[in-house]
Each structure stands twice: as C-alpha cells, then as structure tokens.
Amino acid sequence: MGKNSGFVVDLTSEAVYGDSSIMQSSTQIILILIASASPAFAENFDVQFDQPVMDRWMYPFNSTPGTRSVMSTFGSDRETPTQFDARDGQILVAFDIDLVVPPNAGPDNYNILSAEVTMQVQNNLVFRYDPTPDAWTTFLPAADSRRTADSDLGQPIELFGVGFRGGFSAFNFVEDTLFANAGSSYLSPSVRNAFAAGVDAAGMPSDVSNNPRIGLQPKVFATGLINGLASAALVPEGSVMRFAVDVTDAGIQNYLRQGVDRGRLFFAVSALTIVQQQAGDFPAFYSKENALVSLGFAQAPRLRIKIESTPACRSSDLDCSGVIDMGDVVLALLDFGPCEGCPADIDQSGTVDFGDVVLLLLDFG
C-alpha cells in the first residue's frame, strides 16, 4: 500500500463544455489522494472549488443572466397562486468536477463520501435565519382551510438538485440560456428551463418549484445553516451559509454520482421566503461576478466534495486487480462452459472457452 499524499493545486484553465467556452479562474482545489500498489484500487479525492463554473439568478425577469453580481431567492406571493412558480427566485450553481476527478467511469464507480456547498450573504440584517424545515401548508393562501401557522420566524433556505426541460440538459444549459422557451409566458408556473429538483431513489430529478400547490413536502438535499447564529435572528452581511448534503439518501447519492460521472454537478438554492408583489425581505448572496469577490473581499459559492473513485476494470481483468495474471485465468477456468453474461465470457459468445482464455493471455501482464 502506497503512502497517502496531500497537495494543493491552483487551477486556472479554460474548459469547453457543450457549445460554450467557460473560463474558471483562480480556483483552489485541495486534493488528498489515497494510492495503492494496484491502480485498480479506489482513489479518494478531497476537493474544494472556490468558485463555480456557472452561477445564475434563475428569476423570470432577470435581464442579466450569468452576469448579475447578486443573486436572491424567495417565494412568490402566496395569495396569487396561479402566477409564477411558488419558489420564484432560484439560484443555480454548477461545478466542473472533471477538472480533478476523471469522469465516465460509470456512476456506480463513484461513492460520494460528503459534499458541502457554501454561499456568502450579501445583504445586511434583512431576513431572519430559520435552520429548520417548514411544512408546505404554511405557504398556502389564507383562504385555504389546510393552511397552518409557521411555528418560528423566517423561512429556511434549501439546497436541491437541478432538472431541465425545453430541450436542455446538464450538457447544454449555460449561464445565459433562455429562462423559458419562446412562446412561453414568464408569468406561468412550470416553464423555467432549469429548476430546483428533488430526486427519486434512482437520482432522477422532478420539479419542486410548486410543492405547496401540489401538496408535496420535498426531501431537500440540505437546509442552510449558519454557525453561531440563533434561530430567528436577523442575518448579518458576510455570514457564510453552509449546505451539508445528505449523501446517505440513496436518491441524492445517485444524483451526485451521475453528476460526477458526467463531469459537472448542478445545485439549486431555493426558498419559499414570504414576499409580496415587488416587495419583501429576502436573502441575497454574492455571485462569482461580484467585484468584491474579484478583489478577494467576499466569496463566491463554493463546493467541497469528498469522492471515492474506483477505476473501471478492463474486460480481461476479471478480479479487477489492475493486472492480467494467473488469477484471471483461474477465474475463467472456474466458469468454463456455457455461461452467458459471465464476466469471463470476454468475447460474449455465451460460453467461456479457450477463445476467452486466449484473449486473457494476449493481455497478460
């Protein structure tokens, strides 16, 4: 077993993703690699991205998509539930994991040990801190008999995955992609091309932008927490809000694995903070385009993620040891004969025979 090695890399690179060219600059990435004598053993990555490759205020009337210096999140007016999404102002962030962790090994070859997104508050003493989930019934209109009172002040800020519609996906959605496709009314709910999403057990996303209207209590990836701040307190400017992702949930784990395998991870920050039309006290955060971030006086959204990656084995490496040797030949001989779908059936003939053994010997070493 090789020794653990830790090192810091300042990464400045230009990455081409889909049809867009994106500059990710001054991104400090911390890596801790656990190596072994065999290249097929797992590698552990401890990575911090100091800014996203993309952050966007996903709001119907954002006239500067991808370049706005401040991003906010809030709900729509709950007394007019036919307009906009209930989760009206959303924030999208994306990180290019493939700058450090090799992609395309297959989602099952990654295990997400932990993930934490952090964002820095830009406005001062404007909104109240709520570190606990609120029931969807607290966001119903006053005339709805199911409405319940919120037991504490403020509304939580929540982290979700991201889903796409309108012909877009994680591969082609960029900072200035249209909020909604031509012909859609921005006043309508469920039209945004990228949306805050919960996930099923397989990690497949579904829109949570209108969860109070459909009576859904979504499972959040994480609720925003601020160290040392009391519940219901007004949040000071510069506070760092942390979202520790629940990697123990099977659906969230699968969503993260798919993003790592793809090379890019998307998150959405969302809240049902109660506002009125054109008014309200709601949270705002620094984006990577903010001048104070560029000067080093504020921080952009960040991601720290710990990943265990197991390299995909060659087809002839039956024991996944990283070496084709007599151990693989023995495994082939143990399966000798009809054996459709067996790993030792290298030529996929439906039978493990001398043809497969010859292929093993050709790769020997």
Question: In the structure encoding, which two tokens stand for residue 109, read together?
Answer: 């070859």
In terms of Cα–Cα distance, which of 272, 260, 317, 250 is closest to 89? 272
Distance from C-alpha of 271 to C-alpha of 235, rounded to nearest angstrom: 15
Question: Cβ(156)–Cβ(133) under 8 Å?
Answer: yes
The three-state secondary structure class of 229 is coil
Per-residue pLDDT, averaged over 13-28, amounts to 36
The average confidence (pLDDT) of the chain is 87
Give pLDDT, residue 34. Answer: 41
Please identify which residue in the block is written with the tokens 């090379």: 263
In terms of Cα–Cα distance, which of 92, 61, 81 is closest to 270? 92
Is the pLDDT assigned to residue 83 strictly greater than 90? Answer: no
Percent with pLDDT over 70 in the chain: 87
Burial of 142 (0-12, 13-18, 19+ CB in 10 A): exposed
In terms of Cα–Cα distance, which of 187, 213, 208 is closest to 271? 208
Helices marked H in 69-139: none
Lowest mean pLDDT among 7-11, 91-95, 236-240, 271-275: 7-11
Give pLDDT, residue 29. Answer: 57
Is the pLDDT assigned to residue 138 strictly greater than 70? Answer: yes
Give the chain's largest Cα–Cα span: 76
Alpha-carbon separation of residue 219 from 74, 119, 223 (angstroms):
18, 21, 10
In terms of Cα–Cα distance, which of 130, 143, 125, 78 is closest to 276? 78
In terms of Cα–Cα distance, which of 85, 63, 162, 153 is closest to 117? 162
351 alpha-carbon distance from chain centroid:
42
Is the pLDDT assigned to residue 276 strictly greater than 80? Answer: no
Residues 6 or more apart whose CB falls under 8 angstroms from that of 163 comprise 194, 195, 197, 205, 206, 207
Per-residue pLDDT, averaged over 270-279, amounts to 81
Per-residue pLDDT, averaged over 16-26, amounts to 35
pLDDT 10s digits, 162-207: 999 999 999 999 999 999 999 999 989 999 999 999 999 999 999 9
Per-residue pLDDT, averaged over 321-347, amounts to 82
Domain range list for the chain: 48-309, 326-362
pLDDT 10s digits, 299-324: 999 999 999 998 767 777 777 776 88
Which amino acid is it at 102? P
Give pLDDT, residue 162. Answer: 98
DSSP state of 124: S
Q: Which residues of 240-271 are buried (b: 16+ CB within 10 A; e: fewer)?
A: ebbbbbbbebebbbbbbbbbbbbbbbbbbbbb
Q: Which residues of 173-210 are buried (b: 16+ CB within 10 A; e: fewer)?
A: bbbebebbeeeeeeeebebbbbbbbbbeeebebebbbb
- pLDDT top residue among 123 and 327: 123
